[in-house]
Amino acid sequence: MDMHSVVSQLARQVRTWWPVTGVAISIVTEAGESALITEGCADAGTGVPVTDRTRFEIGSISKTFTAFLLGQLADEGKLAFEAPVANYLPWFTPNNGSQTIRVRHLMQHTSGLLAGADALPDAAARGYALRNARTYAEPGEMFHYSNEGYNLLGLIVEHVTGKPLANAMAERLLGPLGMHDSTARITHDDKALLATGYQFLHDDRPPLPSAPLTPATWFEYSAADANVTATASDLGKFARMLLGRGALDGTRIVTPERFEQIITDRADLGGTAECPRGYGLGVEVEHVDGHTWLLHSGGMVGYRSFLAVDLDGGHGVAVLTNAPGECRAIELFGRHVLSVVQGAAPDPAMFDRESIPDAQRYVGTYGTGSRQIRVNATADNGLLLTSDGITGKLYDTGEGRLACDHPHWSTYHHSVSTIAGKPQWLCGPDSLGGDSAPASTPHPLAGCYRSYTPWYPSFRIVQRAGRLHMIAATGVEAPSDEPELIELDDGTFRVGADPRLPERLTAGPALDGAVLWVDLDGCHYTRSFRE
């Protein structure tokens, strides 16, 4: 089969196992687009198919656009990556001005600022709310992904250019790159040209393969962390610019020296000795089989996207979908497509949610009495969970956790961890296989909480083995792990064990032994009637 047919088949296969309503894929070389593949619906309600003109919100891939816009301004001498942020935003004085956060720290996600507050929708208000922020890591010390940092970068662009971010980006990037079917902000006027975004109908439980979808919450957006909409072919043009190391068809966006700085000034993301990973100034950089890959994923409410180019292999892939924004399988899919384009054998089975690659490590009997489960592996690497005489399937969620269709074990994600040398099955408040019994007296914070923010609509706080954990089933900006809540001397709770983390939760008043609401970095969540 030709490449178009191979990738189309992969796209159809991933859509059978993951909640991908529609998808558009552009495959490019530096010279041009070699294939455009569309599958599925732009609107499931009407059956309108995805076409070459369908636009999608690209989410955090917009950060790479913002980074190259800043690089262009730096080439022109209008700003400096090493300059303090306060040089351009004088009101920004976190830590009472005692720590100097520089432009490059924001670009590299090493400023120490919180990931995202989600409390204020407007870019200027979001930025100004951080004017007196407190951070707990020295600038440059630790990678901590921050949408708020990129929002500040957009405000810097506006200060330096004297223009709204959307205008500056359209004039300096979208226009010169020929991205005429793209926009640098999301408005009501753009809605008719966009694929309808989809989210899970139930946001308070891990989604199973059969989980129903519903049209996602619609809202306008202009902040620099996620402001771009594009067709697949247009995003493919941006990928071609990356393959051209800052130039496309004779149009240079940044100098070769600036391009090298963007991809080499990196924060360490770990990886392996064979495949180290880092985050440069607006783009993730990986070394795969001796090749340098540039990548970025993007999640919006109702959309998931992925962009990757192999600088040495000479190919790039742009994948745009109207899947729920937390559908991280799109990154796995995009990586595989890029590998296939460059000669790897296609493997559609890798997207099968019922096949768990390391299934054997989960096998065993955990817990006692009414909270005992037995986990068995099938011949094809599936996993079955049996409890109370009922057997359910376990499914890969794409985030290192599992979901289960057992009626008594479907509320929370599942995982296995070794604690004090013993394997323990973790599921919500349960730590099965350990020595700790469930708490007999519920903590006032334990319960389910909701907000009107579409980014992170709900979470539960549970007591597990004497510790509090915050657990979200869905949500684009929700953590994909289950961070511990650490009570601090000032009465707040740090979200996560690392003392350098900036996220804070504050409990509101309690009534009849139950906290009524909490504040999570400025966003209020109230206790839900759905426990």
Please give the structure tokens belonging to residue 151: 């929002």
Q: Which secondary structure element, helix H or strand E, spans residue 33, and what is its range?
A: strand 32-43
CA–CA separation, 208 and 385 (whole Å): 15
Res. 422 pLDDT band, cuts 50 70 90: confident
CA–CA separation, 17 and 497 (whole Å): 34
Tokens 């393959």 correspond to what residue? 243
Q: What's the distance, Cα to Cα, between the start and end of the chain in Å?
A: 52
pLDDT at 241 over 90: yes
Per-residue confidence (pLDDT) for residue 183, from 0 to 100? 98
The neighbouring-strand residues paired with 424 are 417
The CB density around residue 158, as the number of other CB atoms within 10 Å, is: 21
For the residues 159-179, what does the mean pLDDT come to?
A: 98
Residue-wise DSSP of 415-471? EEEEETTEEEEEETTEEETSSPPPPSS--TT-EEEE-S-SSS-EEEEEEETTEEEEE
Instruction: Give residue-wise pLDDT tens across range 306-322.
Output: 999 999 999 999 999 99
Map residue 65 onto helix, strand or coil. Answer: helix
For the residues 35-54, what does the mean pLDDT come to?
A: 97
Cα–Cα distances (Å) from 27 to 45, 65, 80, 167, 315, in that order, read 28, 19, 34, 28, 7
pLDDT at 434 over 70: no
Instruction: Give residue-wise pLDDT tens across range 83-98.
Output: 999 999 999 999 988 8
CA–CA separation, 254 and 74 (whole Å): 9
pLDDT at 480 over 70: yes
Instruction: Give residue-wise pLDDT tens across range 248-288.
Output: 999 999 999 999 999 999 999 988 877 889 999 999 999 99
215 closest CA partner among 193, 202, 199: 199
pLDDT at 435 over 90: no
Pinpoint the alpha helices (H) of 244-347: 256-264, 329-341
The CB density around residue 388, as the number of other CB atoms within 10 Å, is: 13
CATH number of 79-161: 1.20.58.710
Could you tell me which residues come within 8 angstroms of residue 245 by beta carbon, excluding any fewer than 6 positions away? 256, 259, 260, 311
Q: Where are the domains of the chain?
A: 3-67+164-351, 79-161, 359-432, 447-527
Contact at 8 Å (CB) between 231 and 318? no
Contact at 8 Å (CB) between 297 and 61? yes
Which residue type occupies 411?
T
Res. 439 pLDDT band, cuts 50 70 90: low
pLDDT at 290 over 70: yes
For the residues 119-125, what does the mean pLDDT come to?
A: 92
Per-residue confidence (pLDDT) for residue 92, from 0 to 100? 97
Per-residue confidence (pLDDT) for residue 382, from 0 to 100? 96
The CB density around residue 488, as the number of other CB atoms within 10 Å, is: 11
Homologous superfamily of domain range 3-67+164-351: DD-peptidase/beta-lactamase superfamily (3.40.710.10)
CA–CA separation, 530 and 518 (whole Å): 16
Per-residue confidence (pLDDT) for residue 120, from 0 to 100? 87
Which residue type occupies 418?
T
Contact at 8 Å (CB) between 59 and 116? no
Region of residue 468 (phi > 0: left; psi between -120 and 50: alpha; otherwise: beta): beta
For the residues 384-393, what does the mean pLDDT come to?
A: 97
Per-residue confidence (pLDDT) for residue 433, from 0 to 100? 87
Instruction: Give residue-wise pLDDT tens across range 459-479.
Output: 999 999 999 999 999 999 999
pLDDT at 220 over 90: yes
What's the mean pLDDT when you consider all of the chain? 95
pTM here is: 0.96
CATH number of 447-527: 2.40.128
Could you tell me which residues come within 8 angstroms of residue 171 by beta carbon, excluding any fewer than 6 positions away? 163
What is the crossing angle of helices 62-75 and 232-243, to 10°? 40
> By CB neighbour count within 10 A (0-12 exposed, 13-18 middle, 19+ buried), where does 269 fall?
middle
CA–CA separation, 251 and 85 (whole Å): 30
Per-residue confidence (pLDDT) for residue 438, from 0 to 100? 61
